[in-house]
């Protein structure tokens, strides 16, 4: 009897798939009495993917998001601002210790200028002119794929081209 009670407290039935799963398989939800979402993580993920796959629902969610931001201009970017105010110095310090550039550092700005001059102002992904402000410096071999942060591995790119490239290697298809 005691073992059954312990089992019931450590598990929950998912409202999506109906399976009984351990509580670790549910996201937290502070608004529910048990502190966990009604659907398991797998069902939650599947529902979100289906929701975003439907163009009508995606447009509806984007419109609701835009409305909220228009109605709350004082809260736009508030979380990010607070995070940087509370933890920004620590974050920058750990990046410097690890030998990685920090945004806006002198080293970073110098690298941007060197890459801009070397590429003669042209995007090295599509070949079009980037202008003086609408460009990014992209890692040819992404750091997440083993590339290193040095000038030989940097290229000039439009923001759009860099975003579309993502973490792909130059020889991988889009």
Q: What is the pLDDT of residues 67-125, one digit of tens each?
A: 988 888 777 777 777 777 777 777 766 665 555 655 555 567 778 888 888 999 899 98
The radius of gyration computed from the CA coordinates of the chain, to the nearest angstrom, equals: 23
Contact predicate 79/50, CB 8 Å: no
- Residue ranges covered by each domain of the chain: 2-71, 106-165
What is the share, in percent, of the chain residues with pLDDT greater than 90? 25
Torsion of the alpha carbons at 125, 126, 129 and 130, rounded to the nearest 10: -50
Give the mean pLDDT of the chain. Answer: 82
Lowest-confidence pick of 43-57, 70-84, 140-154? 70-84
Helix-helix angle 41-53:55-71, to 10 degrees: 90
Residue 15 and residue 8: Cα distance in Å, rounded? 16
């Amino acid at each position: 009897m005691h073992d059954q009670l312990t089992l019931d407290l450590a598990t929950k039935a998912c409202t999506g798939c109906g399976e009984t799963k351990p509580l670790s398989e549910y996201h937290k939800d502070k608004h529910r009495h048990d502190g966990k979402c009604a659907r398991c993580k797998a069902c939650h993920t599947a529902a979100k993917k289906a929701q975003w796959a439907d163009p009508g629902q995606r447009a509806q969610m984007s419109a609701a998001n835009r409305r909220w931001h228009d109605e709350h201009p004082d809260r736009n970017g508030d979380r990010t601002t607070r995070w940087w105010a509370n933890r920004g110095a620590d974050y920058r310090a750990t990046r410097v210790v690890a030998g990685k550039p920090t945004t806006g550092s002198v080293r970073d700005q110098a690298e941007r200028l060197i890459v801009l001059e070397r590429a003669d102002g042209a995007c090295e992904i599509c070949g079009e002119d980037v202008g003086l402000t609408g460009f990014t410096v992209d890692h040819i071999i992404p750091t997440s794929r083993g590339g290193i942060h040095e000038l030989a591995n940097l290229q000039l790119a439009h923001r759009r081209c860099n975003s579309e490239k993502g973490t792909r290697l130059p020889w991988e298809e889009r």
